[in-house]
Amino acid sequence: MAARLSLSRRRFLQWMAGTAGALIVGVGEVSAQEADLPLALLGDNVTRLGPFVRIEGDGRVIIGARDPDCGEGTHTSLPRIIADELDADWQHVEVLSLGPEVVREQDTSVWRYGHQRSGNATSIPAAWADLRQAGALTRWLLLQTAARRSGIAVNRLRTANSRVLMPDGRRYTYAELAADAANQAPPQMPPPLKTPDQYHLIGEAAGDVDAKAIVSGNTRYAIDHDYADALAALVLHCPYPGGSLQSIDTHDALKIDGVKKVLQLHPQRGQPLGHTPLSSAVAVLATSTWAALKGRDKLKVTWRPAKTPAQDTRALEKQAHELLTGTGDPDKRVRNDGDFEHAQHQAARRVEATYVQPFVAHATAEPMNALVRIDARKATLVVPSQLPDDALVMVQRLTGLTPAQIEIQVPRVGGGLGRRLDHDWLAEAIMLAKAAGKPVKLMWTRDQDLTQDMYRPLAVHQLSAALDRHGKISGWQQRRASPSALARRGVAAAQLWTSELHPDALPAGLLPNFQSDWFALDTALPRGPMRGGADVTNAFAVQSFIDEVARATRTDPLKVHLQLLGEPQVLPYHGQSAGLDTGRLINVLKLAAARIDWDKPRHNGHGLGIAWHFGYGGYCAHALEVSVMKGKLRIHRAVCAIDVGRVVNPRGLEAQAIGGTVFGISTALGQAITVKNGQIQQHNLKQYPLAHVLQLPPAVEVFSVASTNAPGGASPVAVPSAAPALASAVFAATTVRIRRLPLLPELLRLL
Amino acid sequence: MQPAQPPQTTPQTIVPVAASKGINLTINGESYVHTGDADMPLLWYLRDVLQLTGCKYGCDDAVCGACTVLVDGKRALACRTTMANLADHAVTTVEGLTDARGNLHPLQQAWIAEDAILCGYCQPGWLMAAADLLTRKPSPSNADIDKLPNLCRCGSQPRVRAAIKHAAKLMKGGK
């Protein structure tokens, strides 16, 4: 018997009794069609619960975490949002990872846990909207039960540490109340949420809930799961993007002890990127990973390049320069305020610069992998996905099974960075399991991971500023040439620009004359989403350029940044209903400057650089102090000032800010994916270097701005401004301007 | 799909202690005898045969450090250590840092205290590299920590540095 309370037309809270005296509360969602029916008429269709709280008779409080945790800390922060409203004792909260599930099996089926997604900084804002309600209702049910049992009015009862406290000092544990609370009649309306002064967990620092298991080696990532009868599968993909298999000799491979099969994989026609294998491939299936590795090394395979091969990166760059300096119209005029040409005509001075940034790969710590068992009426999978809903749809399509027959487990994920929003690797594992008639444990080796990625697009920016006679910026033009990250994904040609430039990204809205153009490049090299997206490359160009304008006018860069930002105002920003508050941006910029002692001159050869960015609803500024001695770049200090609204877990936010900063620096220092003769040149982590400890700042000093704004996400926010702050600091230390990434080889070339 | 003819093979087997043939080694204090392929790297023995999955795969070129273990107390990469080279040697993996009674090693305690986690995948490797470092240098300087070869994609390095220093204090009886 389940009781329900409507939250909105589509969402509701539901509670019921579990086994052994448990109380279960969840957030349910009805489909659009059902939303027209009163909840009472829905009957028992929805018998299973969404994101839930479960209070066991033995005192445990179990809280479900719906979004995969790829290192964003959501398995800590989301349950704490519920636990706070519930006044649960955090020490006795268990967090349970929820896989994707569909509640009904018609065209109107609904996701049991709502939208499940890791990435794009959406977890916390979405949770803020509904998870708190689940906690509040659970607490309300327990309070009502306690009032009935004690005869004391509800308003004289308090809750703390998983207990209801009575004025005379007596107390009930939540466990004691759970069974009766499950039969409590519904409230008239959703119980009120806490006011911020009542929070006891939100805003308090907490370590990662999985920390102990991780440092003990007990956390099982997807790659650590196995079925006793599963075959290890290793794949070799065609090294030419879009190419195909020419010939294969499996004789020697099949002679290896333990090698069972060699199978071919091919992309399915008509499927968008990420929904089918990326390239033609050959898979070795064996009784162990080691046997599969040996078998793979014995394969004799030749590959045929595509009819239209992937362009060499140099040629693509050249094409970009031609487009940017030519007289042709852009593929998209993203924004055009005032009259840039006129401003340029009237200018006392012009500044121009071109920035070149390469393709980069995700290189997540845990390589692509999946464990798949497909039986006649059931599929069981362990999938390291950032988007479990999509994974489930794919399993359904490739197996013909119904959602009820599919069970997907999403354990903690060893890094997502956007790569796991795509499921090409999962399609491979499913196809292999089907063809082999046995469970398959697919693993990509690092060379496959680097050469079979959906890369962050290469970008060439040309920036021009018109300066008036006071050296103030009066006109701004930015032109970006890049292959769209949305290409071959079923997105209309007219919308391909949307992944490349944002019409409201600053300095748009700050200047009377502003023009932003996108020029399309195309290549067979696949592209896709990556932590921070095009904000990262755009911020590098824009922020570096502001520094260049400052240097050209012999003005303190901080002064130019602040002059450009002007008086605090709220600007409209497409996709962010709260808009862009330049006051919050000015705050973080000033804070970063203060903490790095911007005004204190450095006489030791050190240089300072500063940059800022607004993206994903968050405000961030970086200030770095560097030196370059005998060709060696050292980052002595890195300050990151960040404002993402109300902070759920300061410790988690700090981790995301440190991580974003290091990710931004590490990528800018040495990483580039290049194509030559139709093939990707980087096959390993020597050719695609992640920064060593030595190359990174010894600490990232994070300063979070206290805020009462609704909480935003954090994981991409601290990425974009890190690299331009670094490049500007390098200029300050050396007068060498980095206009091409990766930074280290360019610095050595220019020194 | 083109299924190929499967050859007749028997899977590798692991014979429990006290067999006379094979490679004798200890892992986290327990004795094992490996009778399979002597060329197999320790990485796959730990992961596939023993299901000790704390030791991670991360690269093909011995650069990432995710598979770092201790062999006779010294840092080694499990991906480059073959079973043949482990006869009569003692291996410690991250699972073996915790003592028999379940007490966490000071490094593990420090890692939790500093929340040096993020995605966490590479952390077992860092812990083992740090264990080796602290054996050689009980009070490591920043420059000593700078020499650690391990890689992390998420950006945990600043907190890892703090955790190593924290652990050094714990091991000297500090707090």
Residue A640: strand pairing partners: A622, A702
Query: Could you write out the DSSP letters of every residue in A199-240?
Result: -SSTTS----TTHHHHHTT----GGG---TTPEEEEEEE-SS
Q: Are A391 and A408 in contact (CB under 8 A)?
A: yes
Query: In this model, does residue A686 exceed pLDDT 90?
Result: yes
Alpha helix (H) residue ranges in chain B: 42-44, 106-114, 123-136, 142-146, 157-171
Establish how many alpha carbons lie within 13 A of residue A477's alpha carbon, considering only the half-sphere containing its beta carbon.
22
Query: How are beta strands B90-92 and B68-71 bridged, if at all?
Result: antiparallel
Tell me if A211 and B112 make a contact (CB, 8 A cut-off): yes
CB atoms within 10 A of CB A315: 12
Tell me if A694 and B146 make a contact (CB, 8 A cut-off): yes
Query: How are beta strands A440-443 and A231-237 bridged, if at all?
Result: parallel
Residue A103: strand pairing partners: none
A388 touches chain B (CB under 8 A): no
A553 Cα distance to chain centroid? 38
A288 → closest Cβ in B48, B59, B108: B48
Alpha helix (H) residue ranges in A299-358: 313-325, 340-346
* pLDDT tens sequence across A607-666: 999 999 999 999 999 999 999 999 999 999 999 999 999 999 999 999 999 999 999 999
Averaged pLDDT of chain A: 91
Query: In this model, does residue A486 exceed pLDDT 90?
Result: yes
Distance CA(B134)–CA(B136), nearest Å, equals 5
Residue A750 sits at φ, ψ, to 5 deg, of: -90, -20
Distance CA(A669)–CA(A691), nearest Å, equals 7
A634 touches chain B (CB under 8 A): no
Query: In this model, does residue A485 exceed pLDDT 70?
Result: yes
Distance CA(A301)–CA(A292), nearest Å, equals 16
* pLDDT tens sequence across B92-134: 999 999 998 999 999 999 999 999 999 999 999 999 999 999 9
Q: Are B33 and B82 in contact (CB under 8 A)?
A: no
Closest chain A residue to B82, measured at CA:
A290
B53 → closest Cβ in A207, A224, A287: A224
Res A56: pLDDT: 85
Alpha helix (H) residue ranges in B60-156: 106-114, 123-136, 142-146
A63 Cα distance to chain centroid? 23
DSSP A525: S
Percentage with pLDDT > 70 across chain A:
92
A658 touches chain B (CB under 8 A): yes
Largest CA distance in chain A: 83
Closest CA to A425 of A362, A487, A361, A367: A367
Complex prediction ipTM? 0.93
Tell me if A659 and B154 make a contact (CB, 8 A cut-off): yes
Closest chain A residue to B60, measured at CA:
A446
Q: What is the mean pLDDT of residues A708-732?
A: 93
Give burial (CB, 10 Å; 0-12/13-18/19+) of A138: buried
Closest CA to A501 of A553, A542, A531, A472: A542
A290 → closest Cβ in B1, B37, B158: B37
Q: Are B25 and B71 in contact (CB under 8 A)?
A: no
Residue A308 — pLDDT band, cuts 50, 70, 90? confident
Q: Tokens 């239209």 identify what position?
A: A308
Establish how many alpha carbons lie within 13 A of residue A738's alpha carbon, considering only the half-sphere containing its beta carbon.
28
pLDDT-wise least confident of A39-48, A209-218, A374-383, A418-427: A39-48
Cis before A742 (ω within 30): yes
Residues of B in contact with A215 (CB under 8 A): 94, 97, 104, 107-108, 111-112, 123-124, 127
Res A734: pLDDT: 97
Q: Are A15 and A24 in contact (CB under 8 A)?
A: yes
Closest CA to A93 of A108, A104, A77: A77
User: Three-class SS of residue A750?
Assistant: helix
Closest CA to A184 of A58, A380, A13, A364: A13
Residues of A in contact with B95 (CB under 8 A): 216-218
Contacts of residue A365, defined as CB under 8 A and 6 or more positions apart, other chains included, come to A414, A415, B56, B58, B66, B119, B121, B122, B152, B153, B154
Closest CA to A449 of A366, A529, A391: A366
Helices B106-114, B157-171: axis angle to 10 degrees equals 140
Res A592: pLDDT: 98
Residue A337 sits at φ, ψ, to 5 deg, of: -105, 140
Query: In this model, does residue B153 exceed pLDDT 80?
Result: yes
User: What are the start-end ranges of the E strands in chain B?
Assistant: 14-15, 23-27, 30-34, 68-71, 74-77, 90-92
Residue B74 sits at φ, ψ, to 5 deg, of: -110, 150
Distance CA(A499)–CA(A480), nearest Å, equals 12
Res B11: pLDDT: 47
Percentage with pLDDT > 90 across chain A:
77
Residues of B in contact with A658 (CB under 8 A): 155-156, 158-159
Q: What is the mean pLDDT of residues A18-33?
A: 67
Establish how many alpha carbons lie within 13 A of residue A105's alpha carbon, considering only the half-sphere containing its beta carbon.
9
Largest CA distance in chain B: 63
CB atoms within 10 A of CB A469: 10
DSSP A630: T
C-alpha distance from residue B25 to each of A186, A571, B74, B86, B96 (Å)? 63, 67, 15, 6, 14
Distance CA(A223)–CA(B48), nearest Å, equals 11
* pLDDT tens sequence across A178-222: 999 988 888 888 888 999 999 999 999 999 999 999 999 999 999
A268 touches chain B (CB under 8 A): no
DSSP A499: G
Q: Are B88 and B32 in contact (CB under 8 A)?
A: no
A578 touches chain B (CB under 8 A): no
C-alpha distance from residue A124 to each of A74, A228, A346 (Å)? 8, 38, 48
Residue B4 — pLDDT band, cuts 50, 70, 90? very low
Residues of B in contact with A255 (CB under 8 A): 7
Structure tokens at A371: 């464990």
Tell me if B63 and A684 make a contact (CB, 8 A cut-off): yes
Query: In this model, does residue A38 exceed pLDDT 70?
Result: no
Query: In this model, does residue A159 exceed pLDDT 90?
Result: yes
Res A29: pLDDT: 60
A415 → closest Cβ in B41, B117, B153: B153
Q: What is the mean pLDDT of residues A593-603?
A: 96
Res A714: pLDDT: 87
Res B9: pLDDT: 45
Distance CA(B27)–CA(B100), nearest Å, equals 13
Question: Which of A 53-72 lie inside 8 A of B, CB atoms?
Answer: 70-71
Query: How are beta strands A93-97 and A61-65 bridged, if at all?
Result: parallel
Q: A715 or A262: which carries more pLDDT confidence?
A: A262
Helices A557-565, A534-552: axis angle to 10 degrees equals 120
Helices B106-114, B123-136: axis angle to 10 degrees equals 130
Residues of A in contact with B61 (CB under 8 A): 446, 684-686
Tell me if A70 and B119 make a contact (CB, 8 A cut-off): yes
Q: Are B133 and B46 in contact (CB under 8 A)?
A: no
Res B173: pLDDT: 84
A697 → closest Cβ in B9, B59, B158: B158
Cis before A507 (ω within 30): yes
Closest chain B residue to A364, measured at CA:
B153
